[in-house]
Amino acid sequence: MTTQNEQTGALVIGAGPAGLMAAEVLAATGRPVLVVDRKPSVARKFLMAGRSGLNLTKHEDIGDFSAAYGDAASWLDPMLRVFGPAQVQSWAKGLDQPLFTGSTGRVFPQAMKASPLLRAWLARLDGAGVTIRPRWRFDGWDGTAARFDTPGGPAQVSADVTVLAMGGASWARLGSDGAWTNALEQAGAACTPFAASNVGLRVNWSDHMRPHFGQPVKGVALDAGNARHRGEFVISERGLEGGGIYAVSAAVRADTPITLDLLPDLDVDTVTDRLSRPRGKQSLTSHLRKTLRLHPVSLALAREWASPLPSDPAALARTLKAVPLRHNGPRPLDEAISTVGGLPKTALTEGLMLKARPGVFCAGEMLDWDAPTGGYLLTGCFATGRWAGLAAADWLTGETVTGAAHSPRLH
């Protein structure tokens, strides 16, 4: 079969938030921009995430926002200062998408879904001359040309500059399966193995937990090493799910023991004092509920993981403040909201260009960084996509692109 060959100014592989953001920046150079994606339609994970309310970012001081990325904070901070929470909000409003900020600082479109924003964004990209082709699967390089399997047969594209934004390794059905690591390693870029982030935990429950399946656990804290996390989670038949659990994903990967503080607003002495009150003929369960207002779900978890509960008030208080969270590891990688692993900082220049392949830039979940839920993941994808796009545009033009503060000549 004849291979189709073509030339373009800028090639973006991957049409999620990072890739589309890079394409928007590159279109401002006036060069032709071609965006390809392996799926039949673009931004599928973005749309899926928006079904339960599209958490674009968080209204937070940029220093605190950057710090939430943990070990990657120093790497991402310059990018977030160029396109962080404030800029993401301005960008969305520029697409005529009204926003609102929730009580926790999380920022959402008033439409509470991704599709209106995506439609407006795609229309603007089309007006800027960006061409998007679905069902194009990246298959590595032949010399300087990127190789693809397409509905019309094999194709090769030679581009003056390329941005890769092909996602991590979760939600493969939506396009992110991490298969691109093979092509990049063949090109000389060593990748870090993928691991789950923001993922539920597997738990083999005792039968007495069945009545609690589907119930939320509120008003507790999870302690992992020196880190404490407050957040809700849900007991499911398969284990534990939800933001409170996702917050300890890094600790799970590191095999750090996790304990559950069922009474985070009370110190041990206060709990001991209340448990020392005469209980008369009350059962221990009734005594705990009345003296501590301990929710039945929390009590069930204490019995599941810390039985037999001690009768001594001081020992019982210490137990309730540090119930060992016993689990059987994270849910499968493909079920994770996001992943860590992929391209490490050492494989890239400051401008996110592959050291092994000059003129090829990378962004989004391909990069080895970790983000909590709450708008950080999506903002990180926007920020890295814009940073890579600005550096790629600078590579094309040799000039500073408008709005490219802190990013020119970072190759």
pLDDT digits (tens, 9 = 90+) for 290-304: 999 999 999 999 999
Rounded Cα distance between 378 and 371, Å, is 9
Residues 368, 373, 379, CA angle at the centre, nearest 5°?
65
Intra-chain end-to-end CA distance of the chain, in Å: 38
Q: What is the pLDDT of residue 401?
A: 42
Q: Is the pLDDT of residue 50 over 80?
A: no
Q: What is the pLDDT of residue 405?
A: 44
pLDDT band of residue 55 (cuts 50, 70, 90) is very high
The answer to whether the Cα torsion of 276, 279, 285, 290 is positive or negative is negative
Q: If you write DSSP's letter for every residue of 86-130 in order, what string do you get?
A: HHHHHHHHHTT--EEE-TTSEEEETT-SSHHHHHHHHHHHHHTTE
pLDDT band of residue 406 (cuts 50, 70, 90) is very low
DSSP 3: P
Interval 312-349: pLDDT, tens: 999 999 999 999 999 999 999 999 999 999 999 999 99
Q: What is the pLDDT of residue 2?
A: 83
Q: What is the pLDDT of residue 281?
A: 85
pLDDT band of residue 397 (cuts 50, 70, 90) is confident
CB 249 within 8 A of CB 196: yes
Rounded Cα distance between 63 and 326, Å, is 34
pLDDT band of residue 398 (cuts 50, 70, 90) is confident
Name the phi and psi angles at 377, rounded to 5.
-65, -50
CB 193 within 8 A of CB 342: no
Name the phi and psi angles at 6, rounded to 5.
-150, 165
Q: What is the pLDDT of residue 53?
A: 87
Q: What is the pLDDT of residue 86?
A: 97
Rounded Cα distance between 1 and 71, Å, is 48
Taking residues 102-109, report their average pLDDT: 94
Mean pLDDT score of the chain: 94
CB 299 within 8 A of CB 220: no
Q: Is the pLDDT of residue 279 over 90?
A: no
Rounded Cα distance between 63 and 82, Å, is 13
pTM of the model: 0.92
By the 10 Å C-beta count (0-12 exposed, 13-18 middle, 19+ buried), 51 is classed as exposed
Q: Going from the N-terminus, what domains does the chain have, and what CATH number goes with each? A: 4-197+338-397 (3.50.50.60), 201-324 (no CATH)
- The residue type at 87: Q
Residues 168, 252, 224, CA angle at the centre, nearest 5°?
130
Q: Is the pLDDT of residue 385 over 60?
A: yes
Quickly tell me which residue has 């039949």 as its tokens: 40
Which long-range contacts link 47-50 to residues 24+ away (Cβ below 8 Å)? Answer: 47/114, 47/115, 47/118, 48/171, 48/174, 49/114, 49/378, 50/112, 50/113, 50/114, 50/115, 50/117
Interval 150-200: pLDDT, tens: 999 999 999 999 999 999 999 999 989 999 999 999 999 999 999 999 999
Q: What is the pLDDT of residue 399?
A: 63
